[in-house]
């Protein structure tokens, strides 16, 4: 039986851990060749060993999503290595917390907006010519529950993830004529390095989240893989500009 992503070339930013790695593993299992594109060389090398057990033709690239030269080099590398780019997952992201929004330093605000929102525009703009040339392509942006809800302690993060949803809609409208579909996944509460930090900061809130979630548990990174595979496959060719919560039902409560 043919895999859903056989022969596809997929770039996953922030793919060396957490949600990104869960998606990258799912892609590899469905036949894609995956480029894990992240800053940390050591984590990249560790992650690619897991991927190569599934897809030996996958590789890594040391990417700074806030550096245009680095982004351009990634595109050149992908084309030289594989001859094409079919899928982009904009997953790289950070968070900075403060007791109230006005207490967040300007530098922290700028870091979050640059990494979570501006970089998506720069990455997407860089990959667009290659997808247009192919007359097809899939882009998946990773939003958050904070794309829907506000958060007093993470104002920059919520603002950036809300912006991701609106940016996705704008690109979907513009690029449908090129047979490019761009959608957003909104992860719920997923066990990652980022949320482990939240566990240390607010253990009571962390413990209460499973009870607030109809699935009665936190998610794991692999829970995102199925939706990402669907949005990267031909089965989603008529799905464009949508935001899909993957949250165990958290957002419907």
From first to last of its 253 residues, what are the pLDDT tens digits of the chain?
Answer: 689 999 999 999 999 999 999 999 999 999 999 999 999 999 999 999 999 999 899 999 999 999 999 999 999 999 999 999 999 999 999 999 999 999 999 999 999 999 999 999 999 999 999 999 999 999 999 999 999 999 999 999 999 999 999 999 999 999 999 999 999 999 999 998 878 777 777 788 888 998 899 999 999 999 999 999 999 999 999 999 999 999 999 999 8
Query: Which pLDDT score is estimated for 155?
Result: 97
The residues near 53 (Cβ < 8 Å, ≥ 6 apart) are none
Closest CA to 13 of 96, 85, 81: 85
The count of C-alpha atoms lying within 13 angstroms of the C-alpha of 41, restricted to the half-sphere facing its C-beta, is: 0
Active-site choice (157, 178, 206, 250):
157
Exposure string of 66-86, with b = 16+ CB inside 10 Å and e = fewer, is: eeeebbeebbebbeeebebbb
Supply the Cα-derived Rg of the chain in whole angstroms.
17
Report the top-level CATH class of 9-188+222-248. alpha beta
Query: Which pLDDT score is estimated for 94?
Result: 95
Query: Which pLDDT score is estimated for 31?
Result: 97
- Is 250 among the catalytic positions? no
pTM of the model: 0.95
| Structural domain boundaries in the chain | 9-188+222-248
């Amino acid at each position: 039986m043919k895999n859903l992503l056989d022969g596809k070339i997929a770039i996953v930013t922030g793919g060396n851990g957490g949600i990104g790695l869960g998606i990258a593993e799912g892609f590899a299992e469905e036949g894609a060749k995956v480029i894990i594109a992240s800053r940390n060389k050591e984590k990249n090398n560790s992650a690619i060993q897991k991927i190569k057990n599934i897809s030996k033709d996958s590789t890594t690239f040391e990417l700074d999503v806030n550096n245009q030269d680095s982004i351009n080099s990634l595109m050149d590398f992908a084309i030289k290595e594989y001859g094409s780019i079919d899928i982009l997952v904009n997953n790289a992201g950070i968070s900075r917390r403060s007791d109230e929004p006005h207490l967040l330093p300007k530098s922290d605000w700028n870091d979050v907006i640059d990494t979570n929102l501006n970089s998506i525009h720069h990455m997407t703009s860089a990959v667009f010519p290659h997808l247009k040339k192919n007359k097809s392509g899939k882009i998946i942006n990773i939003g958050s529950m904070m794309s829907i809800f506000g958060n007093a302690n993470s104002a920059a993060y919520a603002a950036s993830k809300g912006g991701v949803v609106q940016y996705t809609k704008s690109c979907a409208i513009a690029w449908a004529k090129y047979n490019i579909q761009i959608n957003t996944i909104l992860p719920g509460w997923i066990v990652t390095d980022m949320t482990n930090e939240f566990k240390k900061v607010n253990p009571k809130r962390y413990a209460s989240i499973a009870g607030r979630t109809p699935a009665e548990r936190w998610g794991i990174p692999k829970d995102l893989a199925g939706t990402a595979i669907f949005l990267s496959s031909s089965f989603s060719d008529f799905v464009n500009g949508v935001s899909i919560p993957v949250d165990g039902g958290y957002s419907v409560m």
